[in-house]
Amino acid sequence: MNKLDLLGYNSFYEKSFKELKREDLIPGRIAVENKNNYEVFTETGEVIAEISGNLLFNTEVKAELPKVGDWVALALFDELGIIHHVLKRQVKLSRKNVDNKTEEQVIAANVDVVFVMQSANDNFNLNRMERQVTAIYNSGAMPAIILSKTDLCDDVENLVSEIKVRFSEIQIFPLSSIKNNGLEELEKNILQGKTYTIIGSSGVGKSTLINSLIGEDVLKTLEIREADSRGRHATTRRQMLVLPNGGIIIDTPGMREFGLWEDVNGISKTYFEFEEYAHSCRYDDCSHTVETGCAVKKAIDDGEIDHERYENYLKLRKELNFLETKIDVRKAIEEKKKWITIQKDYRRIMNKGKKK
């Protein structure tokens, strides 16, 4: 593999880079997003880069600015890079912005596999897992599950089988970073030149695991003592690292909320078994809630579909509908504001014309 391929480059990004027809630029991959600049991996090493004024002013939504994992086209001046373009994304893992609920927040771009991490001693919640798995399917990446801190739980088997009931299609890795248990199994599934990220609440052990995979304490982790106190985050930024076995991994800060952003078949992938029954619903556009002749509801009554999965399914769908309505309202307001400004400008110009 050449150096770029080792950073995850492939024909998809190469095509998008070549289409720019900019021989003065080189491809690079965002490793860290700082407040005022980026740390970028390139063929020749790591550089600090800023975004060009053009890119900044021509980008309409924040989600389109460079994010960790993105491939970009940049110009190099000695040590400093200037980012001119974000190459088309193959994968985009998003959630609803916690502070601005009608805005998309991109957590990571262009990852192949996203690990959802929950710890075996507390923080175990299958509904949350299902929500995150849905977001991962929406991103275009593959989901996998890590059950961490198995050393602190007496009945790991039981938890694993609970997970299997809800996620029969997804790989599960129970492990303990501290006791070095189960790491080998995970490592076997981390491949050279492929990109991974771990998401999960603060304190579940994301950074500790990455440190264990590296074999060195590269990332800051929470002291045990601090781990109990609420609201503390050890990791405050997303960071991409290359593991000794060649896998590329992005550490993320703990997330308390994970609101779904738009649905791109994520729901139907997570709740794949519903589809089978849905074919037999009386109405083609059955919402599987109040309709007569709903085969999904019948399957629930017959115990063929897990009731909790169904409840969570309804919740996620409702949430997405609500979000869509809110975004529509926001867009309508923005549109109205735009018209008012245009009308004002128009009147001003007309009045000027009259005075002359």
Binding mask 238-277 for Zn ion (x = CB under 5 A): ----------------------------------------
Q: Which is nearer to ligand GTP, 11 or 34 (CB)?
A: 34
Q: Which of 113, 126, 222, 260 binds ligand GTP (CB under 6 A)?
A: 222
Q: Is 149 in the site for ligand GTP (CB under 6 A)?
A: yes
The identity of residue 297, as a single letter, is K
Q: Which does 222 bind (CB under 5 to 8 A by kind): ligand GTP, Zn ion, Mg ion, none?
A: ligand GTP
Q: Could you give the dihedral angle defined by the CA atoms of residues 194, 200, 202 and 206, in that order, rounded to the nearest 10 degrees? A: -30
* Total residues interacting with ligand GTP, rule: CB under 6 A: 24
- The CB-of-348 to Mg ion minimum distance in angstroms stands at 54
Q: Which does 149 bind (CB under 5 to 8 A by kind): ligand GTP, Zn ion, Mg ion, none?
A: ligand GTP
- The CB-of-81 to ligand GTP minimum distance in angstroms stands at 28
Other C-beta atoms within 10 Å of 25: how many?
19
Of the candidates 86, 90, 82, 134, which has an alpha carbon nearest to the alpha carbon of residue 111? 90
Q: Is 300 in the site for Zn ion (CB under 5 A)?
A: no
Q: Is 123 in the site for ligand GTP (CB under 6 A)?
A: no
With the C-alpha atoms ordered 7, 10, 13, 15, is the resulting torsion angle positive or negative?
positive
Q: Is 254 in the site for ligand GTP (CB under 6 A)?
A: yes
147 touches 185 (CB < 8 A): no
139 touches 94 (CB < 8 A): yes
With the C-alpha atoms ordered 280, 285, 289, 292, is the resulting torsion angle positive or negative?
negative
Give the single-character DSSP code of 176: B
Q: Interface with ligand GTP by CB under 6 A: which residues?
A: 148-149, 151-152, 176-178, 202-208, 221-224, 227, 233-235, 253-254
